[in-house]
């Protein structure tokens, strides 16, 4: 049996009197894409925040690549190879694509310039271009400021940055985990296709992917497995090929009884 990249057991999380997560078990394997579905308020974002270290569960266990870990901050999760892409993206608008991709890990010019903290923009642009080529995405020249990009191009850059971080900062002995919270919510047809291609490419690189979305066609296209939350409980965990659209809608709305087969 494969060791899951990420495994959560019996996760419980309360916001005051609201029980946002109720004994949730969840796992994602290396190179697997899991679609995490559910109606508004079902607990999807809360579960992603537990995985990314932004929220601590009231009870429950988190294992990364078979090792139990306790996340106190998002940095702990990031050090363990987990990157979350939020809907608001957190790109720096006035900076160019290369700088945004390298944010927090700027390359310095060789000695003696490095003594003065001089950033090597040429090297950064070359390595950013190489990273995007590897992921099969080329949206615009590396020197273009992010504020001049469309929403879809920005989304691609934000997701690519997460991919680059897990692929490069990999001292963890696994291929990393990317958590995407509604990455195509604001995108049109072409841009959704672009993000879809990028998600598949990242999975091919061995990255484990959790995709929160309200877009069922997208989920059925890219996901290997589908997990549905309803009022903080997991009501379905099934392989995509073993289910269909009507069943998934039934689990989302609560019309269909719970089913955990995967």
Ligand X SMILES: Nc1ncnc2c1ncn2[C@@H]1O[C@H](COP(=O)(O)OP(=O)(O)OP(=O)(O)O)[C@@H](O)[C@H]1O
- DSSP of 120-179: -HHHHHHHHHHHHHHTT---S-TTSBGGGS-HHHHHHHHHHHHHHHHHHS--SSS--EEE
The closest of 177, 155, 173 to 165, measured between CA atoms, is 177
Residue 60 near residue 11, CB atoms below 8 Å: yes
Q: Which residue is nearest to Mg ion (CB)?
A: 45
Give how many residues touch ligand X by CB under 6 A: 11
Closest approach of Cβ 210 to ligand X, in Å? 12
Q: Which stretch binds ligand X (CB under 6 A): 35-43, 127-135, 202-210, 250-258?
A: 35-43
- Residue ranges that bind Mg ion, judged by CB under 5 A: 45
For residue 66, how many other CB atoms are within 10 A of its CB? Answer: 11
Query: CB-wise, 46 or 78, nearer to Mg ion?
Result: 46
Query: CB-wise, 114 or 253, nearer to Mg ion?
Result: 253
Q: Is 45 in the site for ligand X (CB under 6 A)?
A: yes
Q: Cα dist. 113→88, 104, 127, 212, 262 in Å?
A: 35, 19, 19, 44, 55
Q: Is 58 in the site for ligand X (CB under 6 A)?
A: no
Q: Which stretch binds ligand X (CB under 6 A): 40-48, 95-103, 151-159, 188-196?
A: 40-48
The closest of 168, 226, 162 to 195, measured between CA atoms, is 162
Closest approach of Cβ 258 to ligand X, in Å? 17
Length of the chain: 262
The closest of 176, 163, 151 to 101, measured between CA atoms, is 163
Query: CB-wise, 40 or 241, nearer to Mg ion?
Result: 40
Residue 25 near residue 8, CB atoms below 8 Å: yes
In this chain, which of 31, 41, 145, 197 binds ligand X, going by CB under 6 A?
41
Query: CB-wise, 57 or 81, nearer to ligand X?
Result: 57
Query: CB-wise, 208 or 227, nearer to ligand X?
Result: 227
Q: Is 17 in the site for ligand X (CB under 6 A)?
A: no
Query: CB-wise, 28 or 252, nearer to ligand X?
Result: 252
Partner from Mg ion, ligand X, none binding residue 41, C-beta < 5-8 Å depending on class: ligand X
Partner from Mg ion, ligand X, none binding residue 43, C-beta < 5-8 Å depending on class: ligand X
- DSSP of 206-249: T-EEEEE-S-HHHHHHH-SEEEEEETTEEEEEEEGGG--HHHHH
Closest approach of Cβ 77 to ligand X, in Å? 17
- Residues in contact with ligand X by CB under 6 A are 15, 18, 20, 38, 40-46
């Amino acid at each position: 049996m494969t060791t899951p990249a990420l495994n959560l057991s019996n996760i419980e999380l309360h916001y005051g009197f609201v029980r946002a997560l109720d004994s949730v078990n969840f796992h994602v394997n290396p190179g697997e894409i899991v679609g995490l579905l559910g109606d508004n308020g079902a607990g999807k974002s809360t579960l992603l925040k537990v995985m990314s270290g932004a929220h601590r569960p009231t009870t429950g266990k988190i294992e990364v690549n078979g090792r139990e870990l306790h996340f106190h901050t998002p940095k702990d999760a990031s050090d363990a190879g987990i990157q979350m892409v939020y809907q608001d993206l957190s790109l720096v608008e006035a900076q160019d694509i290369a700088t945004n991709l390298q944010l927090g890990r700027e390359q310095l010019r060789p000695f003696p310039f490095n003594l003065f903290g001089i950033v090597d923009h040429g090297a950064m642009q070359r390595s950013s271009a190489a990273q995007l080529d590897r992921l099969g995405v080329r949206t615009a020249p590396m020197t273009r400021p992010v504020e001049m990009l469309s929403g879809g191009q920005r989304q691609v850059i934000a997701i690519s940055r997460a991919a680059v971080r897990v692929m490069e900062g990999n001292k963890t002995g696994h291929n990393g985990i990317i958590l995407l919270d509604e990455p195509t919510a604001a995108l049109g047809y072409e841009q959704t296709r672009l993000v879809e291609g990028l998600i598949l490419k990242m999975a091919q690189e061995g990255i484990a992917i959790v995709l929160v979305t309200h877009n069922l066609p997208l989920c059925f296209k890219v996901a290997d497995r589908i997990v549905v939350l309803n009022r903080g409980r997991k009501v379905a965990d099934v392989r995509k090929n073993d289910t269909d659209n009507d069943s998934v809608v039934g689990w989302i709305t609560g019309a269909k009884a719970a089913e955990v087969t995967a």
